[in-house]
Amino acid sequence: MSEPDKESSSRRLRVAIVAPSLRYVGGQSAQADLLLQHWQNDPDIAISFLAVDPPLPRVLAWAENIPGLRTILREPIYFWHLWRGLKDVDIAHIFSASYWSFLLAPAPAWLLARMKTRGTKTLINYHSGEARDHLQRFRSAKFVLSGADKIVVPSGYLVDVFREFGLPASTVPNIVDLAQFRYRERTSVRPHLVCTRGFSPYYSVDVVVRAFAEVKKEYPKAQLDLVGNGPLEGDIRKLVAELNLGGVNFTGVASRQEIGKYYDQADIFINASWLDNMPLSIIEAFAVGTPVVTTSPECMPYLVKHERTGLLSPVGDAKALAANVMRLLRDLALASRLAKNAHDEAQNYTWEAVRQQWLNTYRELL
């Protein structure tokens, strides 16, 4: 081993996580926070955090509720924090979504980190299931990504998408903090469903509701917990009213400390997304033993194996989704087998399983 290699493997690597804060609920902010928590006091990593959404000064706090304006006012503050915060780090671990968010948050972090006067290595941790469309429509995306020292994604699906554009990417999976969850083996499967996806066009909660309406025809006492919020919540509430559906509970957003109870009190997790990547909600359902029924957008077979860790149905097909729900309600042995296999699969997403992958990734950069 050369002297530089010995030095890099013996001292703590200085890594700055650049990501959304927990002020905004989302997969990226949750994953970044878990990394920050787990790297604290680690003998190999000295961790720091730079929020892509720094709070506005008190004098401008009134603009926090005006989306476009707050972005304009926040950007120079973000640049200043990057300039200072990336000064003495070895690696900028930059979380990334797609489209304009990519240009506003990951791109500036990449640019400042790679400046020759700083010498910081850049790792873009890309999480969006919209990657293919993003790369087709935004030429700047490929330019920035190809200039990063490493691209890391949470799924084999995104590795394959990036390969289409000549961009090599490696996989480090998302983390699930199993301490939040309690695995429960079901001795019966009740028609109590839970969906923890936001009310976003991508997640098709309307299809979940229509599937639930089919289930209600066979199981009049069925319940559906919709855990989350989003721009389409009004439309979903209207659909529930139009279908005259009882048993639908709008719970609002659940904190990380609370989310486990919703999985635990239900007996089937249902999802109807048409665009996705590696939904943390499904891995959480795996962890607690709630059998998974989901549609199958292109990414989903990378995570859910049909009739092994869950049941897959065609995108947009509410009746097929409902049929899979009722299949589990009628077949306890199948539901139990899926839950057990899925719980075993969830162990691949624990910190114990993921830590060394991140550490190896960081060391490879240096």
pLDDT band at 10 (very low <50, low <70, confident <90, very high): low
pLDDT more than 70, % of the chain: 96
Closest among 52, 59, 39, 44 to 86, alpha carbons compared? 52
**Distance between CA atoms of residues 226 and 311, nearest Å:** 20
Contact 97, 127 (CB under 8 A): yes
Contact 263, 176 (CB under 8 A): no
Taking the model in full, what pTM does it have? 0.89
pLDDT in tens, 172-200: 999 988 888 999 999 999 999 999 999 99
Q: What are phi and psi of 86, to 5 degrees?
A: -95, 5
Take residue 293 and report the two structure tokens written for it: 């029924």
Contact 278, 174 (CB under 8 A): yes
Predicted confidence (pLDDT) at residue 9 exceeds the cutoff of 60: no
Predicted pLDDT at 209:
98
pLDDT band at 118 (very low <50, low <70, confident <90, very high): low
Collapsed DSSP state (helix, strand, coil) of residue 203: helix
Average pLDDT, the chain: 93
Full set of structural domains in the chain with CATH:
3-175+350-365 (3.40.50.2000), 178-348 (3.40.50.2000)
pLDDT in tens, 33-72: 999 999 999 999 999 999 999 988 888 888 888 888 888 8
The helix or strand, by DSSP H or E, that contains position 29, with its residue range, turns out to be helix 27-39
Neighbours of 181 (CB within 10 A): 21
Task: Note the Cα 144 to chain centre separation in Å.
Answer: 22
